[in-house]
Each structure stands twice: as C-alpha cells, then as structure tokens.
Amino acid sequence: MSFKLSEAAKIIGGDLVGDKDLIINNLAKIDEACKGDITFLYLPAYEKYFHSTKASAILVKPGFNKTRSDLTYIEVKDPNKAFSKLLIHYFTPDYLLEGIDKTAQIHPSASIGENAAIGKNVVVSAGCKIGENTKIFHNTVLLENVEVGKDTIIFQNVSIREKCKIGNRVIINPGTVIGSDGFGFYVDEREVYQKIPQIGIVIIEDDVELGSNVSVDRAALGATIIRRGVKVDNLVQIAHNVIIGEDTVISALTGISGSTKIGKHDIIAGQVGIVGHIEIADHTIIMAKSGISKSITKPGQYFGTPAKELKTALKLEAHFRNLPDYADKLKQLEMQIQELTEEIKRLKEN
C-alpha cells in the first residue's frame, strides 16, 4: 500500500513540515524503518534512534528539534495515538475466509446469517445462531444453542460451550475457551471433593476482544458477563459469575476469582491476582503483579500484595529497600545506648 504523506497528515490532524508530495509505503518502528517508511517518536528512550533512522518521515511532538533536513515531519500532540490511527486507517486486515467449507459440521437446526463464513472442521451444534458477516475459523467448536452476533470474528481452535451468548463485532483469538465449567466443588462427609454442576452461561457483549488462550468460565447460576468494549489480553482467567464493566482492559496472566465485580474503565495490568466475591470501583488502575484481597471502593491507582494506594505502596517499597541500612543504624543506636547506660552506671557508683 502506498499513500501521500499529506493525506496521512489530514487523517491525524497534524502539521506537515517538509515534502508534502512524499509517498509512503509502510509504517515501521524507528529503529527498523527503511526509505519510504513513516515512523514515530514519542518516548525519550527512543530519541537515540533519531539520528540513525532510515525512515523518510516521522511523527513528532510540536517543538521537536528537527535537526535532520532529509526527514519530513508531521507534528502531532500524541505521536503514539496518531501512529495507531494510521495503522487502523491503512492496515486494518481483511481476514480471508469466505463461504462454508465442505468439512464444516453444521446441525440442520442451526441458523447461519447472510455472508457468514465458516472454516475447515468447524462444528456448529444444534440450535446455534450465527449472525450475518461473522467469520468462524478452522477447528472451532460451538456446542448446543450458542448465539453469535453479526460482524464477529472467532479465530481457529476456539471452544464455546452450550448456551453461551456472543455479541456483535466481537473478536476471539485462537485457543480461547468460553463457558468451561466454573471451579465449583464441595467436600462431603468423607472429605472427598464433589463437583457442583455449573448450570449458568457466559454473556459477552458487543465490541469485546479476547486474546489467545483466555478462559471464561460459565456461571454456577446465572451468567458470567463481559460488558461492552472490554479488552482482555492473552492467558487471562475469568472465573464463574465474574462481571467485568464496560471499556475495562485486562493484561496478560491476570486471574479473577469467582463472583467478583470489576468496574467500568478500569485498567488491570499483568499478573494481577484478584480474590473472589469483592468489587472494584470504576476508573481504577491496578499495577502489575498486585494482589487484591478486598474490595476497592475508591477510584485510583493501586499496587502491591496486598494492594494499597500507589503512593502508600511506593513509600513502603522504599522503606523495604532501606531495611539493611535501618538495621545497621539500629545496631549503632543499641551500642550507643549500651555505652551511655554503662557510663551512667559508673557515674552513680562514683
């Protein structure tokens, strides 16, 4: 794909400085860009590549020191977001899957919407409903009475169990499992674990994206719900009866225990562990590797195990790092106290 740089500047609302007729062939990282590429610079850590990049054009913040005359610049408030807009505009992929493959197994009672595409070895069980323009890639299995909305993309090797409901414009990446049994057991009189039937479902609303190898457990009763616009990274565990609020993002390797409610517009970083039966307030940010052991009722940033408000957690971290120094100072003080005590004792005896 090729496009004029002046066209790109209009799309992102930037000010172009240099060759307005420059033709761009690709978007690339600043340290990997070649002639004909456009790149971006938004973090000071990458400024070291500015003098050596082979790109033809670069997105920078207003006021950037443009010392290279061989580059064409586009000034924008946020080069990172502007670069993302260009990627979306020029490079949104058109996933190539058309028609219904002859190896797909589709139950006669299933309903398939107009222009839906179904790949090799896909299983669509009895009572399923597939919306128009939806694409279901190879080796995916939908058990009985699954509903999938329109314009949804389900990639290969996804498993969706019975009665689960998937909305419109949802993206489910490879290897993800929707509606597996929740982790429900009780201990009987012989101290043996007995499985509790998990008779609920999973509801995934519109515009959700789930990464690869995500597990979303069905509810014990009722529904596990992922609300509109939620984005979930790879290898995330969402347990039974969890509810995740609108436009929340969850990074990789996070685990959310059963019946917890996550608020709207939250950011949960990688490797966060959240206990069950608690609530997280809207507009909360939980930093990586934190452990959430109780409800968070006040929006803000939280960090640590157990998690605390970020400022408090950072102060505690600083004290932990200084513990060896504190121990040395305590020893010195103990020695000084001992010396003073002995001196006072001698004075009294004299």
pLDDT bin (cut points 50, 70, 90) of residue 94 is confident
Active site residue 89: no
Please state, in angstroms and rounded to a whole number, the distance separating the CA atoms of residues 84 and 42: 12
Q: Which of 51, 138, 240, 265 is catalytic?
A: 240
Residue 298's pLDDT is what?
A: 97
pLDDT of 117-130, one tens digit each? 999 999 999 999 99
pLDDT of 156-212, one tens digit each? 999 999 999 999 999 999 999 999 999 999 999 999 999 999 999 999 999 999 999
CATH class entry, domain 3-91: alpha beta
CATH class entry, domain 105-311: mainly beta
Matching fold, domains 3-91 and 105-311: no
Please state, in angstroms and rounded to a whole number, the distance separating the CA atoms of residues 258 and 110: 32
Question: What is the arithmetic mean of pLDDT over 3-27?
Answer: 96
- pLDDT exceeds cutoff 90 at 350: no
pLDDT of 95-106, one tens digit each? 889 999 999 999
What's at 186, amino acid-wise? Y
Per-domain residue ranges of the chain: 3-91, 105-311, 316-350
Question: What is the arithmetic mean of pLDDT over 243-262?
Answer: 98
Please state the pTM of the whole predicted model: 0.89
Tokens, residue 46: 């990458």
* 331, HSE (Cβ side, Cα atoms, 13 Å): 6
Residue 306: which residues within 8 A CB-CB, separation 6 or more? 291, 292, 293, 294
Q: How far is CA 51 from the centre of its chain?
A: 33
Please state, in angstroms and rounded to a whole number, the distance separating the CA atoms of residues 240 and 236: 13
